[in-house]
Structure formats: structure tokens, C-alpha cells
Structure 1
Amino acid sequence: MDAFHEGFSAPRPVRKKFAKPPVKVACLPCRASRTRCGGQEPCSNCLAKGRKCSYLPSKRGGPRKKKQRLSPSPDGEDQQNEARFPDVSADFDEASGMFSQIDDLSLPGAGLRHLDFSQANSVFPGFPSIPLDLSPLPMSNNAQSLVRLYGSELAILNAYYDFIHLYFPILPPRVTPPSPDQPLHCPLSGSGNSEPLMVYRPRSPLSLAISAVLALIPHPDDPEPASNLSVLRRRTYAHTFAQLANSIIEAESDLDLSTTDPSQALSTPRPPVKRERLHPRTPGDLETLLALLVLSVYEYSQRGNLLKMRYRASQALALALDKSLHCYTAENQFSEARRRAWWMTYYCVIQGSIVSTTPPTIIINDPQFTTPYPRFASDAEGWSILIQAQQVLVSATQFIAELNNGLSSQSTMHYMFERMQQLDSWTNSVLSQAEVLPIPLQDNDIGDCHESTTARSIRSIAHIKLSSAQIKTHRFRAFSDIPIFIKKHCDLTAATNPGSIQDNKIQGLSSAHQPHNISCSCSSLDQFQRASSAEYMTPSDSSTSSDIHPNIPQYPQIPFAPGFPYSPQQSAKICLRAALVISRTFESLPYPQPLTSSHHNRSPQRLPRTMPSFACCLMQSSYAMFMIFYKASVAKQFSPSSERDLMGDSTDRLIEELRQGLEKIIVAVSNYSMAFEALDGMRDEIQGAYQTAFPNANI
């Protein structure tokens, strides 16, 4: 027995973890697979598996620094805190490399930069999800920053009209003259993600949701608005406002009897909201619904979360239907507010289907939707054109999904031909309405004329959406959906996964045809090489997609059946015209121009536009312009020398117009991304493709 106890208590030999110490820097593939790297270039693992071996300098090094505690704590409490908050800094390099390689697997959608990396969404179970470093600029020695905060409901409402109403008019017109924009001047110190201090806490869920958007706009007195500290500050405050708004929404949706006496809850009316109205002509019970609409756009443009975007819009729809806003025909002082609440809810629900390329959750022309459109004093048809444009765009988005299915089976192509013609005719009809000069209303009871800028902006947004619908309708026919962007953006095909995108559509067909004898100009693409009479490409008379873009994989050409209603040249011409219209219209959208007060130092840089619910149109426009640029460049390169001089001037003019159009798109998306971080993903993709196409251009 003694011998047994003796053997049991004998210390075990300590085994060395590695025969030799690990290398300081491992290659990216070994980091991603969490295997030990030899440190050579290429390393033995990559050499054995035939994969590309690349290195990224490690940011690790030096001893780990423990956080200093403000007060001493007992040993047991220290151990408990360490167990609750494990140190993951040692794995950050490996995690960042891993996230960079699985980014496409975990994208929430639409190519937007995603700021939510929770444990529940971790791609690898058991591996800690670590937020990526999204800091645009390093922090300076000045450890202070300013966030756009306001000190009263009235100041928040005034800022709403300055920064949000121009693009997202959920409230009726102003009832008081505009006053100077006066964000609080409260320098904040400390780390960017520390718990924010609320100088003033908004009372309404709507004023909280509006504050979440306003906090993203750089403060006029912030000395370094693009610094790491300022961006993190704005992000933290904005999300705090959004969470507070959600908490009030949940609280107001609950019933006390649901907790104390559930048997009586179903038969008890919901108590009225006892709160001072934010807007005199908007009922207080609508503020929860309107807050959800603002939060829907916030989740899309700031956090890149399409799931939450659609969820917030669906919550608003449920409230709107519960209040019968979809069939509200009464005339009183709140009529305009209820009309705007319903049709902006409709707009956001449809927008969720557009950006996620999913079927609408409502019937877009449901006869039960009888609420009249809202009205602008300066434009009687502005709201009607906006809603029609949204209906056209969601129909064009669904057409792409149906076309994908039809190309796979080739069984419904005749229906698709008719569908394409109907869509094109519908789009042109609404476009003709949008191009007619607006007719002002004579009714003075609907508000003052300060909404004239908003009315022009809404009509421009409708024009952008209609042009985007044209590109969606004709994009496949014009360009065979050849991908040029690395990540998935809206319904555009990504270039990183060639094996699964079109292989299920056709087998053994080569990719896009090589154009010959093209005469390009700013207004005509009629001389693009016409497809064969059977409209099927064969390997002998086609080129590879790498001829158009040498850095993208070879994708098969989509086969279009005979009898297609538009030739590739006609569709390309329509896409070109629509893309240039989008770039010009974005340039003409108004910028926020709040009244200034003397003690604020206004930056000469333009303030960012807000509420970019139509950002996908930027991607559609840039895609069409890039494709036409590559077609024109290849055509000029491979044309016979006898014709090259004749077509050179017209091709150069077209390429210059495309370059200017792309620069306008980059300027527009860069302006939005000053406030909304998720749009950085779109901006980076377009800028990267632009620099590849125009390496000597400066923007």
C-alpha cells in the first residue's frame, strides 16, 4: 500500500512542448490552419500542400502587460475576473489573419464592412471572435476628441432637419424657423471605447435613434475627426444611443399585466404613451415606429448588419399594420405624419429586400394599401415617384434571381424575355415622370416651402434608383455578369469564388467574347461586336475573361437563348447611360448646410450626407462603367491597325467620361463613409478597381 501511495504521489516528468522554439513570424496559411510553421519562404507545410506561402509581419513582441487594477482585490476575486475575461491578445495576430481569409464566409451581406463579431457568430466554434481593427488613422498625442451631442430635444429636432430630413423625411415639415446647429462642446478623454458619459439623455426613442445617426457625423470642432480615437468615440456613442432607443422600444411594447396577470393581458388595451411629443404634428405613439426606421438604416450603413436592418423594418411594419396606417384616409392635423410614417415604413421594408436580394415580405401593389401619398408643397408628385422607383427596383432585383434560375433550366426563357421587356417599359415610364418638372401644390396647410430642397433630393434619389433598375435589367445581357469585385456586393457576382457561381448554370462553355471593330463614343455603343445568330459563344470565337481583366478567374459565358429581346450592344448602351446618370445625380445631391454659430469652427470640408439607403446603386453604376471601360480598352488594343486611328479619339473620349463618372462615384461613397463605417467596404472596392484601371490617375 505504501509503495502504491509512493508511486501515486511521485511527480511526473515535465515534457517540453517543442523540441525547438517556434518561429517569430508564421505564414498566413499556417496561421489560418493553426499549424506550426517552419518560418521558411515557402515553408515546408505550404510546399507539401502546393499552396501559396505569404507572410504578414507580426505585431506581437515583448512581455504581456497586465491591466492595472484601480484597487487591490482578493486572490479569489482576481482568479474569478481572469476566468471571466480571458487574455486573448496572444491570439490576435492569428485571429486577424484567419478573419481575413474567412471574411467571405462570414459576410453579413452586400459587401458592407461589418462591425458585429460576437461569440455567437463565430465561424469556428470555441475560437474567440475578436473585432477587427478598423481604425482609419493612428491616434495622435492629443488624447481628447469631440462627439456630436446635443443638449435638448429641440436641438436634436433641429439637427434632424439639417442632416437627415433631406434624404429620409419621416417627419412633417418644420413648424419653426431653422436655428443654428449647436452641438455641445464637451472634450472627451480616455480610451475610445470607454463607457460614454451622457451630458443629456434624450427622452424619446425617436430622439435617441436620431442621436445615434448624428453622433456619427464629425463634430465641427474636433481637431482630428479621422483619428482612431475620434472614430471609436463616435462609434461607441452612436451604438449606445441605438441600444437605449431599442430598450425604450422594448419597454413600451411590453405590458405590466404580462408579468403580473397574463390571463388578463390579451383583453387589456395598450396604455397610451405619456411623453411630450418631439414634433408638434406627429403623434407620440408614432415615435417608436419612426425610431425603428432610423435604426434600420443605422444597422445597414453603420454596422453592416442586414439581418438587423430587415428586423427593425419588420418591427416597424408590424406596428404600422397594428395602427392601420396602411389604410388611413382621414384628414386632420396628424394626417401628413401618419402618411409619411406608413410610406417610409413601406420604403424601408422594400429596401431590405433589395439589399439582401430576397423576395419582398409584402405584396408591393397590395390593394389594401390605400393610404394616400404624403405631399411636398413644392412637388405634388415627388412621393409617388419615389415609391414607384422603389417598386421598380425591387422588381428588377427579383428579375435577376429569376433569370439565374431560368438560365439554369432554359425552360422559362420565353417568360423571362417578356419579363425583361415589361420591366424596361415600366422603368422608362416612371423615368419619364421623374424628368417632368415638378408641379407645386396650392394647399398651404401641408407646411411651408422649406421642403423644396428635400423634394428635389427625393426626386434625385428616385432617379438614381430607376437608373439602377435599368442596369439590373440589362446587366446580364450586356456583360454576362462577369465579376470584377472581390467581395459580394448586393446582387453583383463576387470574383473570389468562381467554382460555385456559374458552374451550375452551364458546363464547358468559355467566357466572355472578345470584341472586335468597336467604335466607342460617349453616347453610343452600337458597334460592339454582335453575337452570333444562335447567341451562343463557342471556344473558337470567344476570348477568356482574363482578356478583359487579367486578374480575375475565367468564368463561363452565360448562354442566352435565340430570340432575346435586346442585343448585347443595346443593353450595354442602356447600362452606360444609366451609370453616367447615377454618377451625375449623386454629385447633384445636396450636402447638409446647417446654420452656424460664431463659436464653432466649421471645416472647409463638406459635411457627410446621411441615410444612404441607396448605396447599392453606387456599386451598380461603378460595375457598369468598369465593364464598359474594359470592353473599350480591349477593343482598341485588338483592333486592326488600319482602324485603330479612326476609333482612337472616340474611345479616348468614352474612357475619359467613364473615368470622370467613376471619380464622382468615389467622391460620393467617400463622403458617406466619413460618417458610416460599413460603407468603407464599398469605397475600398471601387477605389481598388479604379486604381487598377487608371494607375496614373490621382483622386
Structure 2
Amino acid sequence: MVDAFQNDCGLVSTAPRPVRKKFAKPPVKVACLPCRASRTRCGGQEPCSNCVAKGRKCSYLPSKRGGPRKKKQKASPSPEEEEAPHEDAQYAVDPAVEFDEPPGMFSQIDVLSLPGAGLRHLDFPQVGSLFQGFYGGDGSPSHVHLEAMPSPMSTTSCLVRTYGSEPEILNAYYDFIHSYFPILPPRASPQFQDRPLHCPVSPGPSSEPLMMYRPRSPLSLAISAILALIPHPDDPEPSSPASVLQRRTYSHTFAQLANSIIETECDLELSSTDPGQALSSARPSVNRERLHPMTPEDLETLLALLILSVYEYSQRGNLLKMRYRAGQALALALDKSLHCCMDNDEYSEARRRAWWMTYYCVIQGSIVSTTPPTIVINDPQFTTPYPRFESDAEGWSILIQAQQVLISATQFISDLNKSLTSQTGLHYIFERMQQLDSWTNSVLAQTDVLPMVSHEPDFGDRRETITAQSIRRISRIKLSSAQIKTHRFRAFSDIPIFIKRHCDLTAANPGNTLTDPPTKPAVQASGINNVSCSCSNLDHFQRASSTEYMTPSDSSTSSDIHPYIPQYQQYPFASGFPYSPQHSAKICLRSALTISRMFEALPYPQPLSESGQQQQHQSGQPLPRTMPSFACCLMQSSYAMFMIFYKARVAKQLSPDVESELMSDSTEQLVEDLRQGLERIIAAVSNYSFAFEALDGMRDEIQGAYQTAFPSASV
């Protein structure tokens, strides 16, 4: 019978496959939860005949499966379209509904930790959220997508945040950017009123927008590219298609102008006329007024590249250009010997911040793209002292250490993947896991120590104090994300479908890693052995019977936080892990909740209005935070919380008779903590996406999975 089942599934092909007859009665579109758990065919009634016969409660979840298949498009097919052939094959193999939550709950969770997960790519048309259409009601995302944008000729007059002088741009930098991305020294003058130009723009046939003032420096142009994305305080409809398009147009124009000046300033004067003498000649001098009095003008090109690197990630969704801009900045920094600058003069703080923020951005590019770093993270040649916050002497050190921990955890995932595939070097991997965990906890302990506050110049605000606090929170976010990356494989490897579709990890060959009971057939879809990061196309998972799991504990705060644990080891090397699945799951949960709280605690921009009070938008919602180069940590947090919620849900389906235990007070509190944590994450990414379009997809991914998990909740 096992052989026959395997033949039906296409696992062996020793004989010609007979033509299967279609079902006399097609499978129902939605099966009830008890039938789904027992993998029996459901009649679709409420209650169904199976539940009536067995005297059990019959309940359903809403599903979007079934219905007419969407026609496949050659360019950028959606996951629904990619899943259609697999669904046909699924029904041909087994009438029972697959062990995934309708409408593909695990698929929605699973995609959250992909490299660049959720990012919209504005440089290509028709790229939207991977899970558009999974919403209830009309399913329309609240934000504007590229394909819905009107042409410039059809837009009406709207306002874009632009400024009329270099000092006003610099003041706005401190209002909107410095708290999250301190590339410049502290303010050299008191904060003054934020005064964006109040001139409605109504573009004509020309693609280049009209500008009342054109910034002179590549740095002020790059800053303007970020500021233009923040809605104008007097724009009555900042989320309208016209406003979003105009902000995008102006921002990209500023970015292109900045790149143009950068290329000009990096050119050698003789390169076009006498290339043989170009390299021996001196670099052209920069002849313009400094944007910041304590920052040499020759650093402005480098600092502009750092801002443009974040712009490419958070607005354009272009990971390649993000890394390219950071690489350009690194080349300039090394050329200026900023990595070993021991000077102690009036410009030393500016040079230190320029170097270490360059280092930060280069590492960040590797983190978000899961690629090896282009520099040695602890290179002994990097001797430049850390910058200083007057209110927190250790803040910069903690930030750089957190970045080093996170890139090491990202590399650990790659090494774990290789070891699982080859079944070699596992002892080294287990040692690495312990070392990473110990290192992360050590740096986390430093973030918990209250900073020693010294005298800080008071220019009417405490912006550097706020910046120092913000940097500590960003460091906590990064360290918590590193903990999730370090522990997530161990935490969730007791889910059979997880090992088939673990993001960033190629699934280990089931033939030499899983020790299945001899009576259980290994149901496997064709091509499953070549699972890669692009795991959203895989829809068939190894099924698990309810006998593989133990009843969960009634305490969500104890070591029994795992909703279920296998009664046998899934991997022959599982005993070598230095941590149990329960311990790793607790760490992932705690880290995910910490990330959600730290994002919530990040400060909002606080520009001064005409009345001298803190400025707010007409809509009443907070102004968007900026420079979300670490938004991937949002995805890691939501991924961990959804996985733990998923484990609890699967346990309930597999063991409906223990519903009373699962719904104990402690379990209800766990689910409530997860719901609140996810709502904080959605609020944070929604705030970012108010300005940065590439994060629309992140918001839609998380919100779509949230609405599947909590259909009665609203965010």
C-alpha cells in the first residue's frame, strides 16, 4: 500500500503510471479543521458527516482556495498563479486538503525571512506585494502601488517637502534623519522652525520637476532625496496617488543630481585628455561652502553615498544598488585613510562618524542581502576611534558590536546550510552556535547598563541625547534579530514542513537527515531536494501525524513554550545541538517581542512648527521615521512570532481533544502577547511605508499573515 501511495505521488517511476480517473465528486474547497487534522476527506457541510458520526465539534476557517484559476502572466507571476498547477497535482494525489493553513498560512509566514522579503522594487514595473489579494473584503491594500500610479499629466497640484537654502536643509536633516542615522556631528546651532517651501507643484510634460531651489552639495541633495519622501505638513491628502507620485519624482530627481555631482567630483581632471598622467595628478579640490561647519567638504561626497545607499534600499527596493553605493563610500573612505585616522582636531568627530557609518552601511548591505561582507569585520587595520555621544560614551561601540554580531549570525545561517547539506562540520556549527549566543548576550548586557551622562551643549534641544537613546534601541533590535537567526532553526525544526521550506536554509536531504518511522510514507513533491531561498514556490510538505507530537504544557512562560515536541529525534545529529528546541523557541519569542517594543520606542521626528511647538501632520498621525536600513529586523521579528503562533495552531488541529489545555490561561496570554507584538510591528512598518514605498510590500506581507492568523482583529 505504501508503494502504491508513493507511485501515486510520483516518488518512484519503475512502471508506467496508469491514467487516473477524475473524482466522481470533486474535493470540497474548504475542509473542516478536524478532517484536515486527521487527513480525511471532508464533505464540506456544517457540520460535516465525519464530525457528526464521531460526535466532535466541526469548525471551519475562511479560505480563498478554489474558484477559477487566474491566467498565468509571463512577467512577474504572483504566488497564487504559481500555486495553481501544484494545487491541481495535489488534488490528483490525495483528495484531502494539504496540511497548510488556508489560505496558505505557512506560506505567508515562511516568506517573511527571505533576503529582502517584502521589498517593492520601483525600478521594475508591476512589482507589488507577494500576497496581494489575501485580505478580507475588497482586499485592496491601503497604499498606492506602482501600477496604480497616474501619469504626470493626470496629476493635480500637490505639495512636496523641499527647502529654500542649505541651512534649512541641514536643520531638517537633524529634525528627520540624525536620530536614526548620525553621519554628521551634533548641531552647530540651535534648532529653528522647519520651513518647507509652500509651492504647489503641477508637473507639465517634462519629466524633470520644477525646483525653486537646487541644493549645491551632493550631501544636501542626498538629504533632500530623503526629505522629499516625507509628506508636506500642509498636504491635505498625503496618501493620494498624485502626492505619492510627486514625492517619488522629486526624491529620485534629487538622488540623480547627487549621483551626478558625485561622479563629477570623483573624476580625475586628466582622465579624458591624458589618461597616462591622470593617476599621478592630484585629485580636484572641492570649491564650495561647507554644509556643516565641523565637517570638511571633501567628506560630503562620501556621506551622500551613505544616504543614497539607504535610499536605494528603503525607497527603490534595490539591494544591488544599496551595496554598490556603500561600496563606493568604502573606496573613498579607504582612499582618505579614514579607517586609521588618529587625528584629534576640530574635524576628528566628523571623520570618525564618516568612517564608522561607512563601515556600518557596508555591513548592512551584506546583512540584508545575506552575502559575505566585503571587508573583514574585525580587521586590525581599522584603528580609528569610535565617535562619541556626550550623553552616552558607549553608544557607538555598542552599535558597531551589534552590527558585527548580526552579520556573524547571518553568516552562521549560510554555514549551517552547508553543513546540513553535506552532513560535515556539524561539531563546528554547534560550537559556533554557542559562541554566537554567548557573544550576543554579552553585548546585550552592555545595552542594559545605563549610560554615563556627561555635560552636553544645550542648543535648545537634546537631539544628541535622543539620538544616543535611539542608537541603543537600534542596537537592541539588531542583537535580538541575531538571536532569532542563531536559534530559529533549532526552535522550529520540530515542524516537519519547516525543514522542507526553511528560508535561508536549503532543506537537508530527507533521506539522510530524517529518521521517520518505517510505517510512515515520505510524501515529497518533485524537485523538493533543491529547496533554496526562493521557497515560496514549494507547496507540498512532508505530512506529520498527530502521534509525532506531545501535548503542550499549560505554561507559556516555562521551558514548555513549544506547543508540541516530537517523540523521536528528527535528525540523527539533533542531540549535538547545545540547546533544546524549547530553549531556542523561548529565545526567539523573547527576541521577537523585544524587537517589536524597541521599534515602538524609537522616537518620531520632532520638527518645530511656526508656533514653536512640535510639528504634526494634518491627518493627526505621527510623522514617519526615516532611514529604515534595518527594516529586515521587522521581518525577522514577525517571522518568529508567526511561527510560534503557527505551532500552537497546528497543535490544536492535530490534537483537538486537548483544546481545553491549549486554551489555558497561560496559552491565551501567549497568543495575546503575540497579537500585541505583531500589531506593534505592523504599526512600525506602516509608519515607515508612509514615506518609503519599497516598504509597502513588507507591510502588506506582515498584515496579510496577521489577518490570516487573527481574522477578527483589525490594525
TM-score bracket, normalised by the shorter chain, equals 0.7 to 0.9
Cα offset for 1:516? 3.0
How high is the TM-score relative to the length of structure 1?
0.75
The aligned residue for residue 112 of structure 1 is 119
628, 631, 635: which one pairs with 1:612? 628
Q: 1:193 and 1:650, CA in 2 relative to 1: closer, same or farther beyond 3 A?
A: farther
Q: Equivalent residue of 2:598, what SS?
A: helix
User: Residues of 2 paired with 1:512 and 1:334: CA distance?
Assistant: 63
Whole-Å separation in 1 of the counterparts to 2:586 and 2:206: 49
1:544 alignment partner in structure 2 = none
Deviation at 1:320, TM superposition (A): 0.2
Aligned equivalent of 2:553, options 512, 516, 519: 519
Question: Structure 1 residue 262 and structure 2 residue 275: aligned?
Answer: yes
User: Structure 1 residues 639, 30: closer, same or farther in 2, change over 3 A?
Assistant: closer
Task: Look up the SS of the partner of 1:468 in the other structure.
Answer: helix
Structure 1 residues 96-495: aligned runs within 5 Å: 109-117=116-124, 133-135=146-148, 143-190=156-203, 194-441=207-454, 450-480=463-493, 491=504
Letter in structure 1 aligned against 2:170 = L
CA contact (8 A) 2:484 2:592 kept: yes
Paired with 1:271 and 1:363, the residues of 2 have a C-alpha distance of 31
Label 1:490 to 1:331 Cα distance change in 2 as closer, same or farther (>3 A).
Answer: farther
Q: Which residue is 2:569 aligned to?
A: 535
Shift of 1:498: 8.1
Once the two structures are TM-superposed, the CA of residue 561 in structure 1 deviates from its matched residue by 3.4
Matched with 1:677 is 693
2:638 counterpart residue number: 622
Using the TM superposition, give the Cα deviation of residue 520 of structure 1 relative to its aligned residue in structure 2, in angstroms.
5.1
Residue 195 of structure 1 and its aligned partner are, at CA, apart by: 2.5
- 1:110–1:490 Cα contact (<8 Å) kept: no
Question: 1:6 maps to what in 2?
Answer: none
- Partners of 2:542 and 2:271 lie apart in 1 by 63
Whole-angstrom CA distance in 1 between matches of 2:556 and 2:259: 50
Aligned-pair CA distance for 1:144 = 1.2
Question: Residue 549 of structure 1 aligns with which residue?
Answer: none
Query: 2: distance between equivalents of 1:666 and 1:484?
Result: 26
Kept after mapping to 2: 8 A contact 1:204/1:278: yes
Counterpart of 2:37? Answer: none
Partners of 2:186 and 2:525 lie apart in 1 by 50
C-alpha contact 1:109 1:305 (8 A) present in aligned 2? no
Equivalent position SS for 2:146: coil
Instruction: Report 1 or 2 for greater relative contact order, CA contacts < 8 Å, sequence distance ≥ 6.
Output: 2
Q: Distance in 2 between matches of 1:190 and 1:681?
A: 28
CA distance in 2, matches of 1:579, 1:607: 25
Specify the code of the residue in structure 1 equivalent to 2:384: T
Q: How many residues align?
A: 572
Instruction: Tell me the CA shift for residue 450 of structure 1.
Output: 3.4
* Contact 2:555/2:667 (8 A) holds in 1: yes
3-state SS of the aligned residue for 2:119?
coil
Q: CA deviation at 1:272?
A: 1.6
Greater Cα offset, 598-607 or 248-257: 598-607
Q: Deviations over 1:587-622 (max 9, x none)?
A: 110000100115988421100000001101000100
Q: Tell me: CA distance 1:659–1:565, structure 2 relative to 1, closer, same or farther (3 Å).
A: same
Q: Secondary structure at the residue paired with 1:189? A: coil
- Which of 592, 616, 621 pairs up with 1:579? 592
C-alpha displacement of 1:134: 4.4
Contact in 2 for aligned 1:396/1:423 (Cα 8 Å): yes
**TM-score under structure 2 length normalisation:** 0.74
8 A contact 2:391–2:456 mirrored in 1: no
Question: For the residues of structure 1 that align with 2:266 and 2:673, how far apart are their CA atoms?
Answer: 53
1:651 to 667, 673, 683: 667
How far did residue 687 of structure 1 move?
0.4
Q: For residues 268 and 432 of structure 2, what CA distance do their matches in structure 1 show?
A: 48
Larger Rg: 1
1:642 and 1:264 mapped to 2: Cα distance? 81
Look up the equivalent residue of 1:384 and give its one-letter code.
Answer: S
User: Which structure 2 segments of 5+ residues have no match?
Assistant: 1-67, 91-110, 127-143, 508-523, 533-539
Superposition deviation, residue 31 in structure 1:
5.0
Per-residue deviation, 1:639: 4.5
Local SS of the residue matching 1:672 = helix
C-alpha contact 1:666 1:683 (8 A) present in aligned 2:
yes
Q: Deviations over 1:619-644 (max 9, x none)?
A: 01001101111212333454474672
Structure 1, residues 476-520: CA drift from partner, whole Å, max 9, x if none? 1111397999xx9994899xx986676469xx9946786432125
- Identity of matched residues, %: 70
User: Which residue of structure 2 aligns with residue 5 of structure 1?
Assistant: none
Taking the aligned partners of 2:707 and 2:671, their CA distance within structure 1 comes to 14
Q: 2:708 aligns with which of 677, 692, 696?
A: 692
How far 1:447 moved relative to its partner?
Answer: 13
| 1:284 to partner: Cα distance | 0.2
Q: Tell me how far apart the structure 1 counterparts of residues 313 and 70 of structure 2 sit (CA, whole Å).
A: 31
Separation in 2, partners of 1:489, 1:291: 37
The aligned residue for residue 29 of structure 1 is: 71
Q: Deviations over 1:272-299 (max 9, x none)?
A: 2111000000000000000000000000
How far is 1:536 from its partner?
Answer: 1.8
Corresponding letter in the other structure for 1:237 = Y
What is the aligned partner in structure 2 of residue 548 from structure 1? Answer: none
Contact 2:430 2:578 (C-alpha < 8 Å) held by counterparts: yes
Residue 165 (structure 1) shift: 0.1
Indicate the RMSD between aligned Cα atoms, in angstroms. Answer: 3.7
**CA distance in structure 2 between the aligned counterparts of 1:498 and 1:252, rounded to whole angstroms:** 56
| Distance (whole Å) between structure 2 residues aligned to residue 512 and residue 161 of structure 1 | 55
In 1, Cα distance between the equivalents of 2:204 and 2:431?
59
Amino acid of the structure 1 residue aligned with 2:331: A
User: Residue 207 and residue 492 in structure 1: after superposition, are their counterparts in 2 closer, same or farther (change >3 A)?
Assistant: farther
Aligned equivalents of 2:406, 2:672: Cα separation in 1: 29
Name the counterpart of 1:84.
none
